[in-house]
C-alpha cells in the first residue's frame, strides 16, 4: 500500500478515513496538514502509518490530554467562588445538588472540549492552524472514539442534571437557555471553521454567567447581581485567553478566511483590542471589588493586577510580526496574567471563607 492516500469529499472512503474507522490492518490514516488553506475540508491527503510507529503516550496521558485536564479550573474556580460566597451569605441551601452540579459541569466541559476537537478535525481547522499536540492529529485516538467519548460525557452530564432539576426546578430553565445558546452557536457557525464571531459571544455568555448561574441555582440560592457580576468578570478573562489564542494564529486564520474578532481588526487593531480588553478587565475587577468585596482586598488585588499588567501591555504593544516567536510569547504572558488573577481569586475567597462574618464590604 502507498504511504499516502488522497481522498475527495465525495469519495465513499473519505469519511471512514477522517473518522479513523477505515479498515487498514495494523495501520492508521493520519490527515496531513496543509499550507494551502483554501479548502482543507474538500480534499485530504492521509499518511498511512503503522500503528507500532506512532509514538503514543500512556493511555491515561492521552485521556488527560483529550479532556484538557489543565483547563478544568475554568469551571472549578467559579464553583469555589459560588461555594464560598453562599457559605459567607448563609445561603448554602442544597449541598447535594450543588455537588452534583459540579460533576455535571465537569462532564459537560469535558464533553464539549472533546466535541470541539472533533469538529476542528472534521472541518479541517486543525489542519490549517496546526497544533502538533492534538491527540486526533497525532493518531493517539481515532475521531470516532473521541466522538463517542464526547457523547458519553455529555450524556452523563444530562443524566446527572436530572436529580438536580428534580430538586431545584429553576435549574431546568438554566439548562434550557444553555441548550438554546449551544444550538444557536452550532447553527450560526454552520459547523464551519470559518465563522467564529458568533461563537465568541455565545461562549462569553456560557463560560461566565452561564456557569455561575448553573451552580448558584443548583445550590438553591437563586441568581443575584453579585453572582452575575462575577460571571461577567470571569467570562471577560476567559475571552481574553480566547483572543490571545486567536491572535497567536492570526495570519493563518486570516489567510483561511476565518472570521473572529482578531481577524476582523487585523494585526494592529487586534493588538489594541488585547490591550484594551485587559485594561477593561482590571477596571471591571476594581468595580466588582468596590461593590462586593472588602476594601483591603479590593485595593490590594487591583494594585497587584495593575503592576503586573504594565509589562504585559508594553510587550503586546511592541510585537512587530504576526508570525515569529513574539506571538507565542504573548500567549504565555497573557496566560500568566490569567493565572495570577485566578490565584488572587482563590486566595481572596479562601480568606473570606476562613474569616466569615468578620468583615464588611
Partner 1 sequence: MNLKIFNSKDFPAYLPKLNALYDDLFSGGKGFRSKLVQMVSDPIALPQETQHLLCQTIEFIHNASLLHDDLIDGSHLRRGKPAAWTKYTPEYAVLAGDYLLARVMVNLSGFGNIKLVQFTSETISDLLEGEWLQDSVVGDFFVGLDQLDRIHNLKTASLFKWCLRAPFIAAENYDENLHRTLDEMGTILGQLFQRSDDLLDYDIRNDEGKAILGDLKSGYLNSFGAFISKDMNRAQIDQMVKSHDLNEFYKSFSSDSELGQKLFKTKVEEFDQINTKMIELYSHHLVELEKQLKKPDLIKALKPLTEILYWRRKPKS
Q: Cβ of residue 9: shortest distance to partner 1, in angstroms? A: 11
- If one asks whether residue 324 binds partner 1 (CB under 8 A), the answer comes out as yes
Among 176, 295, 303, 323, binds partner 1 (CB under 8 A): 323
3-state secondary structure of 167: helix
Pairing of strands 27-31, 43-50: antiparallel
Between residues 87 and 335, which has the closer beta carbon with respect to partner 1?
335
Between residues 39 and 179, which has the closer beta carbon with respect to partner 1?
39
- If one asks whether residue 15 binds partner 1 (CB under 8 A), the answer comes out as no
Among 4, 183, 290, 291, binds partner 1 (CB under 8 A): 4
Q: Cβ of residue 255: shortest distance to partner 1, in angstroms? A: 8
Cβ 240 vs Cβ 275: under 8 Å: no
Question: In the numeric block, which cell numbers belong to residue 78?
Answer: 467559579
3-state secondary structure 228-283: HHHHHHHHHHHHHHHHHHHHHCHHHHHHCCCECHHHHHHHHHHHHHHHHHHHHHHH
Among 11, 41, 170, 326, binds partner 1 (CB under 8 A): 326
Between residues 113 and 129, which has the closer beta carbon with respect to partner 1?
129
3-state secondary structure of 5: strand
At a CB cut-off of 8 Å and minimum separation 6, what does 237 contact?
281, 338, 341
Pairing of strands 43-50, 4-8: antiparallel
- If one asks whether residue 1 binds partner 1 (CB under 8 A), the answer comes out as no
Nearest CA to 85 among 350, 303, 276? 350
Question: In the numeric block, which cell numbers belong to residue 202?
Answer: 455565545
Between residues 18 and 104, which has the closer beta carbon with respect to partner 1?
18
Between residues 38 and 155, which has the closer beta carbon with respect to partner 1?
38
* Mask for 232-261, x = binds partner 1 (CB under 8 A): -------------------xx---------
Q: Which of residues 173-192 bind partner 1 (CB under 8 A)?
A: none
Exposed, middle or buried by CB within 10 Å (0-12, 13-18, 19+), for 15? middle
Nearest CA to 115 among 238, 204, 199? 199
Among 21, 32, 187, 279, binds partner 1 (CB under 8 A): 32
- If one asks whether residue 130 binds partner 1 (CB under 8 A), the answer comes out as yes
Q: Which residues bind partner 1 (CB under 8 A)?
A: 2-4, 6, 8, 32, 34-36, 38-39, 42-43, 45, 130, 251-252, 320-326, 328-329
Amino acid at each position: 500500500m502507498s504511504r499516502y492516500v488522497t481522498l475527495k469529499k465525495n469519495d465513499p472512503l473519505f469519511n471512514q478515513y477522517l473518522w479513523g474507522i477505515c479498515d487498514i490492518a495494523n495501520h492508521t490514516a493520519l490527515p496531513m496538514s496543509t499550507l494551502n488553506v483554501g479548502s482543507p475540508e474538500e480534499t485530504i491527503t492521509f499518511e498511512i502509518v503503522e500503528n507500532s510507529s506512532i509514538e503514543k503516550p500512556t493511555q491515561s496521558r492521552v485521556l488527560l490530554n483529550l479532556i484538557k485536564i489543565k483547563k478544568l479550573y475554568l469551571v472549578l474556580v467559579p464553583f469555589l467562588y459560588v461555594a464560598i460566597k453562599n457559605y459567607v451569605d448563609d445561603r448554602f441551601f442544597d449541598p447535594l445538588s450543588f455537588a452534583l452540579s459540579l460533576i455535571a459541569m465537569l462532564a459537560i466541559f469535558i464533553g464539549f472540549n472533546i466535541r470541539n476537537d472533533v469538529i476542528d478535525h472534521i472541518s479541517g481547522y486543525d489542519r490549517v492552524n496546526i497544533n502538533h499536540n492534538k491527540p486526533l492529529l497525532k493518531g493517539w485516538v481515532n475521531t470516532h472514539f473521541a466522538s463517542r467519548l464526547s457523547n458519553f460525557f455529555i450524556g452523563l452530564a444530562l443524566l446527572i442534571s436530572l436529580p438536580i432539576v428534580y430538586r431545584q426546578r429553576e435549574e431546568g430553565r438554566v439548562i434550557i437557555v444553555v441548550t438554546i445558546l449551544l444550538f444557536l452557536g452550532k447553527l450560526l457557525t454552520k459547523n464551519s471553521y470559518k465563522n467564529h464571531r458568533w461563537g465568541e459571544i455565545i461562549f462569553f455568555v456560557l463560560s461566565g454567567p452561564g456557569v455561575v448561574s448553573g451552580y448558584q441555582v443548583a445550590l438553591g440560592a437563586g441568581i443575584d447581581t453579585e453572582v452575575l457580576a462575577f460571571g461577567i468578570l470571569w467570562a471577560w478573562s476567559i475571552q481574553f485567553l480566547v483572543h490571545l489564542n486567536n491572535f497567536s494564529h492570526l495570519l493563518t486564520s486570516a489567510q483561511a478566511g476565518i472570521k473572529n474578532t482578531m481577524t476582523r481588526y487585523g494585526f494592529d487593531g487586534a493588538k489594541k483590542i488585547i490591550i484594551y480588553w485587559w485594561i477593561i478587565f482590571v477596571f471591571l475587577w476594581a468595580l466588582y471589588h468596590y461593590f462586593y468585596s472588602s476594601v483591603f482586598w479590593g485595593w490590594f488585588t487591583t494594585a497587584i493586577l495593575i503592576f503586573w499588567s504594565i509589562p504585559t501591555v508594553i510587550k503586546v504593544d511592541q510585537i512587530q510580526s504576526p508570525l515569529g516567536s513574539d506571538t507565542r510569547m504573548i500567549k504565555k504572558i497573557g496566560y500568566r496574567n490569567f493565572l495570577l488573577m485566578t490565584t488572587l481569586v482563590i486566595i481572596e475567597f479562601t480568606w473570606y471563607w476562613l474569616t466569615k462574618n468578620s468583615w464588611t464590604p
